[in-house]
Each structure stands twice: as structure tokens, then as C-alpha cells.
Amino acid sequence: MNGILLETKNLTKIFESGFLRKTIIKAVDNVNLVLKESEVVSLAGQSGSGKTTLAKMILRILEPTSGKIIYKGKNIWRDLKSLKDLKWYWRNVHIIFQNPFSNFNPFYKIDRALRQALELIGVDPDSSEGKRLVKEALEVVGLRPDETLGKYPHQLSGGQLQRIMIARAWIVRPKLLLADEPVSMLDVSTRGKILELFLKLREAQKTTILFITHDFGLAYAVSDRILIMYKGKIIEEGPPDEVLFNPKHEYTKQLIESVPTLYRKWRFEL
């Protein structure tokens, strides 16, 4: 049985908008979730369900309205105060965003992202140890260092940039990796490779991975456990086969019926 890595307790985020007449949106509504060590979990839901808001709070870049997030016994919004604490947290909790190009600063060569990763773990990027780590990480993700290093983001494809982000994670060895739609902007024929690399990371480093996605096929293919989010709440949770093929909630049932399938054809009637 694996230990608990992170949990949220009654986590809520309310957005207010408007001046005279206030509109209140409960983006995340009383969410309790548990992520165990070395687990691959998918948080699946349609747009506007609150998945990204939840991820931002876990990443500690968006403050919750109420509730708490506990990582290794620490309430991250109360107990982490100094820059040192934050650095410690972000070394352990990483994110990979949807748009591979937004992960990189276009003015710098991609080497910078890897050098910063080395600095985060206290290794001098110019030392032989630093160079060895970069080479190893790039090889793990199937990139040749001589073809990748020294290039600018626009000189590489989306798939290559996402691989570099995974290489970065390989160097930093975070305990938790949040992946927000990591393959939705990539070509279908390269998605499998990227997903495989995430699973390789888990295999080798026991990383916990939280996929945030609207793609139920992806969630089904890679997860140990699936959480379905709807209007800020987690309405369903369990192993993929159970949640997706025997859903209990009416919303999930309807949703699953609308997901296009490859081997089965929909029937329409006039």
C-alpha cells in the first residue's frame, strides 16, 4: 500500500465578478481528493468544470477561498512561508502545460530550461555532473543532445518541446507531476510516445502523475484511477473500467455516450 502524497480537504475556490450585481462562481466546490505515491490519476471533465483551477491551487499559484491542501503533512498555503520553503515545494511539485510553446521563453535557447532544472537541484550546469544529467535526461526522452541543445523553441516541434519538459522533470525528480492536457496540441501519431514517457517516469522515479484532461480516451488508457469533475465537484471516482464503463452518475453516463469511438459507429435517426 502506497502512502498518501497529497490531499485536499474541503477545497473551495469562489470567483466573484461584476461590480453592482455580483456574480459568484464556485469554480471548485468542496473537493476532497487524495493522491498516493507513484500513482497515475486522471482528473477528467469538460471545459469549465474547474479542473485547471484545482490544479493551480495544488501548484500553489492560486490561493483557495477555503479548505486546505496538505503535502507531506504540510498545509501548503499556511506552512510554506520563506522562499526556501517555496523552492522546496516547487522542486517536488511540477507542472507541464498544454501548449508546448508557452512552457518556454522564446528568447532563450531551450538549454536554459534544463540549466534552471539543474540549478533547482543544486548542480552546477557547467560541471561534468550537470552535463551528464542533461545528456541522460534527453536520451531517456528519445532526443539526441547534439540535435536539440543550442536550439530555440521555434526550431523544434511541439512534440520535441513536450519531451524536453519531461526531460526536465527527469532531472528535477519531482514527487508530483501535474500534466494539464499535455498531448492535446500534438499530432495523434506522436501522442503515444509522450504518454509512454510519462509512464516511464513513474516507473523509474515513482513519480505521482495527475493528468488533467477532457480526453476520456487518454484518461482510460493511462490511469490507475479516474476522477470525474463536474461544476466544481468530483462526482465520480474509481478504477478506469468502473468509472467509464459502469458510471453511476447520470452526467457521467451521458458524457460517456457522447465520446466518439473508433471501432463503434453512432446511429442517427431522422
Partner 1 sequence: MEILKRLELRNVKAYYRLLIKNMEVYVKAVDGVSLEIRKGEILGLVGESGCGKSTLARVMLMNINPPLFFKGGSVILYTRSGKSLELSKLHKKELKYKVWGTHISIIPQEAMSALMPTLKIKKIAYDVLHSHNPDITLEETTSILTKRLAELGLPGYVVDRYPFELSGGMAQRTVIAISTLLNPEILIVDEPTSALDVSTQKLVIKTLWSLAAKGIVDSMIFITHDISIVRQIANRIAVMYAGKIMEVAPTEDIIFKPLHPYTKGLIESIVSLEPEVRKRGLRYIPGQPPNLINPPQGCRFVNRCLFAMDICRNREPPLMEISNGRLAACWLYAKR
Cα–Cα distance for residue pair 216/159, rounded to 1 Å: 21
**Least spacing, CB of residue 160 vs partner 1, in Å:** 8
Residue 128 or 261: the one with the smaller Cβ distance to partner 1 is: 261
Residue 69 or 209: the one with the smaller Cβ distance to partner 1 is: 209
**Least spacing, CB of residue 246 vs partner 1, in Å:** 13
**Least spacing, CB of residue 151 vs partner 1, in Å:** 14
Could you give the C-alpha distances from 179 to 79, 92, 152, 185, 208, in angstroms and in order? 25, 14, 23, 13, 11
**Least spacing, CB of residue 130 vs partner 1, in Å:** 29
Interacting residues toward partner 1 by CB under 8 A? 46-47, 157, 159, 187-193, 195-196, 199, 214-218, 220-222, 240, 244-245, 254-256, 258-266, 268, 270
Residue 130 or 159: the one with the smaller Cβ distance to partner 1 is: 159
Q: Which of 115, 156, 108, 109 is nearest to 137 (CA)?
A: 115
Residue 204 or 259: the one with the smaller Cβ distance to partner 1 is: 259
Q: Which residue has the cell 521563453?
A: 105
For 78-101, give the DSSP string: TT--SHHHHHHHHHHEEEE-S-GG
Q: Which of 27, 26, 32 is nearest to 50 (CA)?
A: 27
